[in-house]
Amino acid sequence: MKSAAEIDALVKEWVAQGQTKSYIVINTAIAELDWAYVWGAVGAQCTPSKREYYMGRSSIGEKDRENIRKSCPVLNGSQSACNGCKWYPGGQRTLIDDCQGFAKQVFSRVGVSFAGGGCTSMWNNDSNWVEKGQKAQMPNKVCLVFQWNSSQQNMQHVGIHIGDGVIVECSGTVKYNNVSKSAWTHYALPKGMDSMPVPTVDRPTLRKGSTGDWVVLCQQDLLTLGYDLSPYGADGKYGTKTVNAVKKFQTDYDIKPYDGICGQKTWNGLIEYAEKPSPTTKLYTVHIPHQTEEQFNKLKSVYPDAYKTEE
């Protein structure tokens, strides 16, 4: 795991190299994998005192408060100091965020900011976006992806789309996800970003004995496609179960050789069949005339992309 100081140095290096904003956002999000989730936090240093501060906020729920306490070795009593904690690598601090705090913190590295204190207010503030819409229309660009909660009529979660359907989100920890999961419903392109195509992220060749976040993503893709990884699931360890699942995937999709090694051809297959959004049926724009302000507001609560024009 990289510390905040290490990532600060990397960002300075990328800026000096003239890398695009999209490149910096993608690689910053990846570099922060495994950083901790803390409800209400936006790029704060991971310390016991900061965690206690967020635990003490009146707006936090008891479940989130307990999760903050349990995940900190000092607060849960398993250690007397931060030394040895996974979120204190090499004696240097990492940062803590919640889902929208993570998005704000990462995009701030390229000078892009978002108005709104939560997912719903971020989404509703049109000054944040060049465009936004349903997931099915999402371009292959760096953007934010949201989850609409129809029962509560709000956006309940946000992540960063880094290209080809891959999402980096802060939920429990910073981790990979993919846009094919049904919970993701909407996208929004932030103002102030470049319009460059998503830069290619080199994916390493994985084989038996490999470990880490790329293994987790490979395993998540295999699970998405229905391959058996029980009882371990996406544990980040490329063992016999993962080798056999990759062999089965290679055989099913005729990706030779059928050797259980996840190289570039196998990655391309996983991107194509597991990470890209599923094809959708033909979509239509519907105009509903003669609506009152009250009727429109009800429609808007269900369909956030709805807009009105005067007759």
Where the chain has pLDDT below 70, the residues are 195-197, 199-201, 277-285, 287, 298-311
Sign of the CA dihedral 292, 293, 294, 298? positive
Report the DSSP pairing between strands 173-178 and 154-163. Answer: unpaired
Residue with tokens 């005729």: 254
Q: What is the pLDDT of residue 165?
A: 85
Q: How far is CA 33 from CA 51, 148, 268, in A?
A: 19, 24, 22
- Say if residues 124 and 153 touch (Cβ distance below 8 Å): no
> Which residues neighbour 96 within 8 Å (Cβ) at sequence distance 6 or greater?
35, 36, 37, 38, 41, 43, 44, 45, 46, 50, 51, 54
Residue with tokens 């090499």: 90
Q: Which of 97, 102, 109 is nearest to 192 (CA)?
A: 109
Report the DSSP pairing between strands 129-134 and 95-97. Answer: unpaired
Q: How far is CA 36 from CA 39, 67, 70, 96, in A?
A: 10, 11, 12, 5
Q: What is the pLDDT of residue 301?
A: 58
Q: What is the pLDDT of residue 280?
A: 47
pTM (predicted TM-score): 0.72
Half-sphere exposure of 36 (CA within 13 A, CB side): 29
Report the DSSP pairing between strands 173-178 and 166-171. Answer: antiparallel
Alpha-carbon gap, residue 222 to 150, rounded angstroms: 29
Q: How far is CA 7 from CA 13, 32, 170, in A?
A: 10, 8, 17
Q: Where are the domains of the chain?
A: 4-190, 213-275
Q: What is the pLDDT of residue 256?
A: 92
Residue with tokens 């490979």: 218
Peptide bond preceding 199: is omega within 30 degrees of 0, i.e. cis?
no
Q: Which amino acid is at 40?
A: G
Q: Which of 1, 86, 90, 104 is nearest to 44 (CA)?
A: 104
Q: Which of 194, 250, 238 is nearest to 214 (CA)?
A: 238
Indicate the SS3 state at residue 130.
Answer: strand
Q: What is the pLDDT of residue 305?
A: 55
Looking at 1.10.10, 3.40.50, 1.10.101, 1.10.150, the CATH number of the domain 213-275 comes to 1.10.101
Q: What is the pLDDT of residue 201?
A: 66
Alpha-carbon gap, residue 18 to 107, rounded angstroms: 17
Q: Which amino acid is at 25?
A: V
Q: 4-190: which CATH architecture?
A: Alpha-Beta Complex (3.90)
